[in-house]
Structure 1
C-alpha cells in the first residue's frame, strides 16, 4: 500500500496501547505499523508510548496518548460495512465489551468513548430501494433498533 494521504488521528488520555490492542484484535487484516515513544522533551514520561500507527482493513490510524484535555464525541464515528448479521453481531459484542455503550440505529461507543456505526450492507440496499414506501418502512424499523437486525429490516420491507 502506498502512503495514505489522510490519516485519522485518535487522541486518548493514556489508553492508546489498550485501544489499539482491542481494535487490532477485532478486525482481520489489522496490524500495528509503528510505535513512537516520548523522549526527554516530553510532555509524556520518557519512553512511554506517544503514538501508535496501526491499520484496520486497509485504513491507517494513529493513536496518541495525549492526556485528558480532549475526549471523543459522537460528532465523528467509524462506520463499518458488514457483510451479514454474523459480522454485525461479532463486532457489536467485541466493541461494546468491557464498558462500551449501545446506541440507537447501529451506533455504539467502545469502552474508550470512540463511536462506531456497525452497518449491515443490507441496510443500504433496502433504504435505497426505488419503492419509496418499502424504503420508508425499512428506515422506520431501523430507527427503532439499537444493534441492527437484518431480519427485522427484511420483515419491514416485506410488510407492504
Structure 2
C-alpha cells in the first residue's frame, strides 16, 4: 500500500466507502485504493467495520474517515471541477444531484454525504479572468444560476 505524503482527509458519518466508490465511478482519474477495517471491536463499532478508505478524486489523494456524526461537511471545503462544455457540466451535476445530492447557487451542489462541489465550466473562469465588462456580465449571469448554463455565460461574455 502506497501512502501519499499529503492527503485530504474527509470525515464521513459512516459511509466513506460508499462515497469513495461513487467518486471513483463518477470522475476520471479516480479510484479506491484501499480499505482499512477495525481489527477488533471498539467502543463505537465492531471488528471488520470500515475505519478509513484511501481513494483519489481526479488524481487528488484522499482519505475517507468514518468518524461518526460528531462533525458535518460544510461549504468551507469543496472540490472544484473544471468542465470543458455543457455536456460535461451536466454529467457531473446530474451524477451528484441525482444521486441524493442537492443543488445550490452559482454552480455549487452537495453530494448525498454533504460534501460540496463546484461544477465550473472553463468559459466562466476565463470570463472572470478577462476582467472588465466581460467579467461583470458573466458574473451577473452566474449569480442567477444554480447549474451553470454555458450558453448563457458565453452570451454574457459577448455582451
TM-score tier after normalising by the smaller chain length: over 0.9
C-alpha distance in structure 1 between counterparts of 2:4 and 2:125, whole Å: 27
C-alpha distance in structure 1 between counterparts of 2:71 and 2:65, whole Å: 11
C-alpha distance in structure 2 between counterparts of 1:35 and 1:86, whole Å: 33
Q: For the Cα contact (< 8 Å) 2:36–2:50, is it kept in 1?
A: yes
Name the SS of the counterpart of 1:128 in structure 2.
Answer: helix
Residue aligning to 2:153: 153
CA 1:46–1:66 in 2, change beyond 3 Å: closer, same or farther? same
Structure 1: where are the runs of 5+ without partners?
Answer: none
Residue aligning to 1:120: 121
How many residues were matched structurally?
157
Residue aligning to 2:18: 18
> What pairs up with 1:84-99 in 2 under 5 angstroms?
84-99=85-100
TM-score calculated relative to the size of structure 2: 0.92
C-alpha distance in structure 1 between counterparts of 2:32 and 2:135, whole Å: 40
The reply on whether 1:136 has 2:150 as its aligned counterpart is no
TM-score calculated relative to the size of structure 1: 0.92
Q: For the Cα contact (< 8 Å) 2:21–2:31, is it kept in 1?
A: no
Deviation at 1:99, TM superposition (A): 2.1
The reply on whether 1:76 has 2:58 as its aligned counterpart is no
C-alpha distance in structure 2 between counterparts of 1:66 and 1:134, whole Å: 45
Deviation at 1:3, TM superposition (A): 6.0
Structure 2: where are the runs of 5+ without partners?
Answer: none
Name the SS of the counterpart of 1:86 in structure 2.
Answer: helix
C-alpha distance in structure 1 between counterparts of 2:55 and 2:20, whole Å: 7
> What pairs up with 1:43-82 in 2 under 5 angstroms?
43=43, 44-82=45-83
